[in-house]
Amino acid sequence: MRRYIHTADAVFALVLFAAFAVAMLMVLMTGAQAYQGIKDTVENHYSEDTCLNYISMKVRHYDSAGGAVYEGDVGGIPALMLREEYDGVGYITAIYFHDGYVKELYADESFDFTPEAGLEILAVESLDVTFRDDGLIEARCVGTGGGSASVYLSLRSD
């Protein structure tokens, strides 16, 4: 009789351990699936979110630093123009979309801007910056993952 009790105790402990191991495995699998879903979402929206954050930061910097924010073009390509002045010399930062990239070109205002001269900032499908009649700037970006996002900016200097 004594031997039967020890065997039952061992079987009960083994079954309890197996149930605990299965439960832990299920929790880990659920966590891994949640992580994968979050990772995929972040990767799909990285380029358009980064693009819009970059443009927002640049506009806010130039607007609050006494610069000028206006629309222009770089070699016939629509561009967001940001102007500032140092020691009496005007400098322009142009942000535009060309050949699959958001590009930035920084030079003094006498420079002959060409689209190829810009620095490639971020690969995207498209970028459209519009100065609306209500005083807002709308920036719309389609990222490399196909996702689209937009942001509306209001200038403090207006």
Asked if residue 106 belongs to a domain, the reply is yes
Asked if residue 54 belongs to a domain, the reply is yes
Asked if residue 25 belongs to a domain, the reply is no
Q: Does residue 66 come out as left (phi exceeding 0), alpha (psi in the -120 to 50 range) or beta? A: left
Residues 124, 111: Cα–Cα separation, whole Å: 26
Q: How many domains, in total, are found in the chain?
A: 1
What local confidence, expressed as pLDDT, does residue 141 receive?
Answer: 94
Render each residue's pLDDT in the chain as its tens digit; 158 residues.
455 567 778 888 899 999 999 999 999 999 999 999 888 877 778 888 999 999 999 999 888 756 689 999 898 999 999 998 888 889 999 999 999 999 999 998 888 888 998 999 999 999 999 999 888 999 999 988 888 899 999 987 65
Spatial CB neighbours of 136, under 8 Å, sequence gap ≥ 6: 152, 153, 154
Asked if residue 49 belongs to a domain, the reply is yes
Strand ordering across the sheet containing 136-142:
126-131, 136-142, 148-154
Q: With a threshold of 0.95, does the pTM exceed it?
A: no
Q: Which domain holds residue 83?
A: 45-154
